[in-house]
Structure formats: structure tokens, C-alpha cells
Amino acid sequence: SVPMGFFGGIGAASKKGILVKGSNYLEVAASLHTVVFDKTGTLTKGQFKVVEVAPQQVSRDELLEIAALAEGYSNHPIARSIEEAYGKTIDTSRVLDVKEIAGHGLSASVDGRTTWVGNYKLMESENISYVPCKEVGTIVYVADDRGFLGYIRISDVIKEGAADAINGMKQAGVDRCIMLTGDQNDVAAKVAEQLHLDEYHAELLPADKLTKVEKLISSESEKEKLAFVGDGINDAPVLTRADVGFAMGSLGSDAAIEAADIVIMDDDLGKIPTMIRIAKKTIRIVKENIVFALAVKIV
């Protein structure tokens, strides 16, 4: 009665491009009350492009060059977008002592000058007087031992179908859709507004995301379950802690895919409401099977 029903549900999900790692995750998916999303790469494409370069003290090209050199060792999408805008081969021999500063940015020695590239928190922690950018986007501030050199504004694009997917989750029985991001508050607010999310929490470090999910889980009742949807290596601890973790299988990191309980093979968020519907139908069929089997036994 029970195992064959769950095998059927896992098989139905696999036909839709959804890998479910165990029948117990179908039970959890059928009881989802809250779905928490990472932003970059999950709700948005993670394809950043430089939309504004605002230099001070130096030329536009020099500001891009300094930022690209400092970010030369990073694989982060923001670093790649700066390198793409720079458009030249990066001479890494000009860069020494690169140090990543979690949640802030990085410092490096570029052409013998101590250089800082990161968000406003980095500028404030280094006591650098800077000109804040009021426009919406991811802002990368650049400074060196001469002072503030300017900022680079980068924007990301929301995935097609993300709004429809969230609407589909609501129709499938999810009560709350929440976004967690390390981006600035105004960027998060704009994305949350466009996608009609119930809540968002911005300017979070990776450890803060885990803490936030812990609080959300503790606020749920025993029957209400929480899912986390992510794709990055930083999302692995949160994917493991959530009642059920969804990973993006196409562009997601190996760590996220390994930590997740359910993998969306083509990164289509619309597969999540499909998964919830399959899970609910599976549980319904399993219960029908139990009732039918007991009835036969009694007869």
C-alpha cells in the first residue's frame, strides 16, 4: 500500500525533471507552509552586468581596471561582470595579498597600492569617506590609499517565470514565500515587490541566513513544514537545516546539490509547485491504498 505509492510519486516527479532523494521528502513537501528563497541564481539569473561607472579622482577606465585587477582571483558573478566590462586581459602579476573580507568585499595590493573593493560596510569599516549611490542595484565601492575612487553599479535580472512560480506555490497551498539575500535593502525590496513576496530579509551574511531559517522553523507548528530553495555553495548549510531543501541542478554548485533533498534539474522554479502537487497526490493515493487494503483484510 505505502511503498508502491511513494515509488509512483518519485517516478512521476522524475518524469518532470525533479530528483527526489527519498520518499520521506514527499511527505514533507505535501505539508509545506513556508518556502524560503535565496535571491541570486534562484529568483534572479545571477547574470550581472555593469550599468554605471562613477569615478572620482581617476578616469572611468582606470576605476574599472583597478576593480577588475582586485577581483581577478574571484569566481563570483559580480567579479565576472566587472571583468567583462573591463574587457581586457587581467595581469595578475600586478596584484598581491588578496584577502576576502566576509560580507564586505576584499582588499588587495594593486600596483603597490593597498586597495579595497566591496560594499558600503567595507568603506565604513576602513573609515573611508565615500559618496553613496542612491540608485537601485548592487553597488561596488572602490578605494585605495589615495582615498575613495568611485563606485560601479551592477544589476541582476529576475528569472522568467519566477512570479508565476510563486503564484503557483500559493495556489498549491504554500502560505508564505520569503526571500533571504546578502544584497542591499533597496535591491531586495524591488525584487520582493516585483515577485509579490510575503517577506524579505536583506544584507545577510551566510551565517545570518542559517540563523533566520532556524527562527522561521521554530515559529512553525509541528505540522507546518519549511522548504529552502538555493543554488550556491553558501546555501548548503541552510539546505541541510530546512525541513526540505530544493537545489537548482543545472547551474547550482555541487555542494548545494549534494546537501539538497530535492533537485530541480533544469532550474525551473515552476517545478516547485508541480512537486508540491505531486507530493499531495501521492500522500492522498497512499492513504486511499491503506484504507482499501484494510477494507479487503476486514472483508
What is the dihedral sign for C-alpha 271, 212, 191, 203? negative
pTM higher than 0.95 for the full model?
no
| Mean pLDDT, rounded, for 8-30 | 93
DSSP code for 96: E
Identified catalytic residue from 38, 144, 243, 268:
38
DSSP string, 26-44: HHHHTTEEEEEEETBTTTB
pLDDT tens-digit map of 231-281: 877 888 999 999 999 998 876 678 888 989 999 998 899 999 999 999 999
CB of 283 within 8 A of CB of 2?
Answer: no
Show the beta-strand stretches assigned E in 137-175.
Answer: 138-144, 147-155
CB neighbours (10 Å) of residue 239?
A: 28
CA distance 253 to 176: 26
CA distance 209 to 283: 31
The x, y and z cell numbers of residue 263, run together, are: 533537485
pLDDT tens-digit map of 158-196: 888 999 999 999 999 999 999 999 887 888 898 999 899
The x, y and z cell numbers of residue 286, run together, are: 497512499
Q: How far is CA 12 from the centre of its chain?
A: 27
CA distance 19 to 299: 39
Most distant CA pair in the chain: distance in Å?
Answer: 89
38 is catalytic: yes
